[in-house]
Structure 1
Amino acid sequence: MPTTPDLLRALVDDAAVFPPGNSPLAEAVSGHAGHRAAEYGPSVGPLLVPASAAAEVLSHLDAGCWERPEPLDLSVVARPGTDPSALREGIALLHADPRVRLVAAELGWTPGWRRLDLPGDLPLALEVARSGEDQATALADVRASVAEGDAVVAKFRTGPTPAWPWPDEAELAGFLRAAAAAPVPFKLTGGLHHAVRGTYEVAGVPEENHGVLNVLVATEAARAGASQEVVAGLLAVRDAAALADLVLAWTPETVAAVRAAFTAYGCCTVTDPLTELAALGLPTP
């Protein structure tokens, strides 16, 4: 299965401190060290931390929570509506510490995001609106930035928050098709805790979840110009073996194209989807 290592490489960002996981930051840092040392480590991206937690991260490094020889890879996250100064201050603090390798930042898209005076070479993920003209405007702006050589991707929320109801298959399909049509690379966040679409218990409450295999397959369909109905239908498939068979048949060229489009996603329990993917015959790198 030569295509699968590249398919899963750095696919799952470690969002342990974010809901519904809500791990204490010290545990998240030490847990991330464990992920890095594990066999599945190459499938795990950076640890995602709120911009407001930058000083706390450094205090946990002082306390010895990071027991690895290499720097801690971090992505600093500012949810939409966060004061831009908090993001700038967090980035500056972490960027100055050699124990940290700052690999990305995430923030909500606004027309003035370029005026935030962030380091010019820091990759950015810009969270876009659910749909409609606001989303189209943001995607066009991201596309223009990519064309200028900037390391920017669109970000879409696939899990619910108090202010963001769960986007169903139709809504997620609309985003995947819009991103493919732009075209812009994207990452996802929230709700992608499992390999396959299903109803799963989250904190004891049944909750609808999209599946990462579904998203991979739907991304390829959107790239190929599939209709809204087809892309939404693929996102709704609950047959794990069928989805795995589709992905395992991909050529290396297809894998590279899909991952260039779907760059990563944040998950608070990275071992859950990776374990399920391995059980379906998709080993980690």
Structure 2
Amino acid sequence: MTGMSTPSSVPPRALFAGLIDDAAVFPPGNFPLDEAISRRVERRGSSISDLVGPLLLPPTLVSEAVAGSTPVTVSVVGRSDVTLDQLLTAAQLLVDADGHSLAGLELTYSPDWRAALELGVPVAVEVTPEQAVDEPMADLASEGSEQVRAKLRTGSTPSNAVPSASALGGFIASATGQGLSFKLTGGLHRAVSHRTSTADGGEDQFGFLNVLLATDQILRGSSTAQAVTLLEQRDSDVIAGLVRELDDPRIASVRNAFHSYGCCDVLDPIHDLSDLGLIEENL
């Protein structure tokens, strides 16, 4: 990031509380489950623990997690290769296990997605950028339940590129316009949008602060094009300054819309917040 600074004021903590879901076992982190859990134990009681959400696990790791003695709060994540029955079976293990808890379910959109609502926890349904402005998003909104969230993948995979800023802005506008909260997954490792530097030329990645600000703009009636400009902004001083302008009502509105995002190493974005002077901790 460019132009890091540490001014005296920090935004209200509520802006970042529970924002970063712990996706340590997923790529590119790929932490073994026991290490992912031990890292969570180390953070318990620390001053940054309030910034981190539940542990995200695929169904295949849930039985191992509940067999351990360390209580875990888990959201079970089913990708496209996971059936709904597999997802619900793993989730039920958490419901039935003493000391452990089920925080939510995440699944790829399909016509029978409503079956995931039966456990009474929040359900995040992943759509593609194309589905975000089509019938699948309207289908999610038609349930009319705060239990339902829309989800978009913002990181690249072998079969999918990082969505464009226009696609992400369109997703945010579609979700908020239909009364849906949303979460994101993949790619949001850093606070401010940037381009990675790798041997193959790198790729553009969004910053989670850019997403918070773009969401605020859309909720305040700005155009999607204005939100896209914010998503593409790479000057960290500009982004940090705009974040400091958010007051309590705007923060509450933004976080009601943008619930959380999954990150494979939750300390990376927290270090960015510290470096930018947006949290009190000097990490």
When normalised by structure 1's length, the TM-score is 0.89
Give the corresponding residue for 1:79: 79
**What corresponds to 1:49 in structure 2?**
57
Equivalent-residue separation in structure 1 for 2:271 and 2:218 (angstroms): 27
109-118 vs 223-232, which deviates more? 109-118
2:246 matches 1:219: no
| Per-residue CA distance 1:48-94 (angstroms, 9 max, x = gap) | 000121112124x14xxx3xxxx321110001342111111101112
Any conservation in 2 of the 1:187–1:265 contact (CA below 8 Å)? yes
Query: Unaligned 5+ residue runs, structure 2?
Result: 1-8
* Deviation of the 1:186 alpha carbon: 0.2
What CA distance in whole angstroms lies between the structure 2 residues aligned with 1:32 and 1:161? 26
Match of 1:232 in 2: 228
Match of 2:122 in 1: 123
The aligned counterpart of 2:275 is: 279
2:4 counterpart residue number: none
Partner of 1:36: 44
Letter in 2 for 1:144: S
Deviations 1:29-58 (A, max 9, x none): 111212333211000000000012111212
Query: Equivalents in 1 of 2:30, 2:275: separation in Å?
Result: 26
Give the aligned partner of residue 19 of structure 2: 11
SS of equivalent to 1:282 = coil
Kindly indicate whether the alpha-carbon contact (under 8 Å) linking 2:116 and 2:123 is maintained by their aligned counterparts in 1. no
2:117 and 2:210 map into 1 onto residues whose CA distance is 37
TM-score, normalised to structure 2's length? 0.90
Structure 1 residue aligned with 2:31, among 23, 34, 46? 23
C-alpha displacement of 1:4: 2.5
Given the superposition, is the C-alpha separation of residues 204 and 164 from structure 1 closer, same or farther in structure 2, using an over 3 Å criterion? closer
8 Å Cα contact 1:51/1:76 also seen in 2: yes
**2:203 match: secondary structure:** strand
| Residues 1:198 and 1:2: Cα distance change in structure 2 (over 3 Å) | closer
Q: Could you tell me how far apart the structure 1 residues matched to 2:158 and 2:277 are?
A: 36
- In 1, the alpha carbon distance for the partners of 2:214 and 2:28 equals 25
CA distance in structure 2 between the partners assigned to 1:271 and 1:202 by the alignment: 21
Report if aligned partners of 1:10, 1:43 keep a CA contact under 8 Å in 2.
Answer: yes
Contact 2:117 2:123 (8 Å CA) reproduced? no
Q: How does 1:247-258 map to 2 (within 5 A)?
A: 247-258=243-254
Match for residue 176 of structure 1?
Answer: 172
CA spacing shift, 1:276–1:117, aligned 2, 3 Å: closer
User: Taking structure 1 as reference, are residues 76 and 276 closer, same or farther at Cα in structure 2, changes over 3 Å only?
Assistant: same
Structure 1: gaps (5+ residues): none
Q: Which residue is equivalent to 1:97?
A: 97
Question: For residues 135 and 258 of structure 1, do their structure 2 counterparts lie closer, same or farther at Cα, with a shift above 3 Å needed?
Answer: same
Which deviates more from structure 2 when the two are superposed, residues 100-109 or residues 226-235? 226-235
Deviation at 1:208, TM superposition (A): 2.2
What's 2:3 paired with?
A: none
Query: How far did residue 144 of structure 1 move?
Result: 2.2
Partner of 1:206, secondary structure, is coil
Q: Aligned residue for 2:6?
A: none
Give the Å deviation of 1:223. 1.4
> Does 23-32 or 186-195 show the bigger shift?
23-32
User: What CA deviation, in whole Å up to 9, does each residue of 1:86-141 have, x standing for no partner?
Assistant: 1111011121111211111101121211235741x111111012225x64322222
Q: Name the stretch that deviates more: 255-264 or 206-215.
A: 206-215
CA contact (8 A) 1:5 1:283 kept: yes
Distance 1:224 1:232 in 2: 14
Alignment-mate amino acid for residue 142 of structure 1: L
1:164-219 Cα shifts (integer Å, max 9, x gaps): 21112121111112112213100000000000001235799733210011001111
Cα separation, 2, equivalents of 1:272 and 1:140: 34
- What CA distance in whole angstroms lies between the structure 2 residues aligned with 1:202 and 1:50? 29
Aligned residue identity for 2:13: P
Assess, with a 3 A threshold, how the Cα gap between structure 1 residues 268 and 116 changes in structure 2: closer, same or farther: closer
Q: Secondary structure at the match of 1:187?
A: strand
Q: CA deviation at 1:12?
A: 0.1
The answer as to whether partners of 1:4 and 1:284 remain within 8 angstroms in 2 is: no
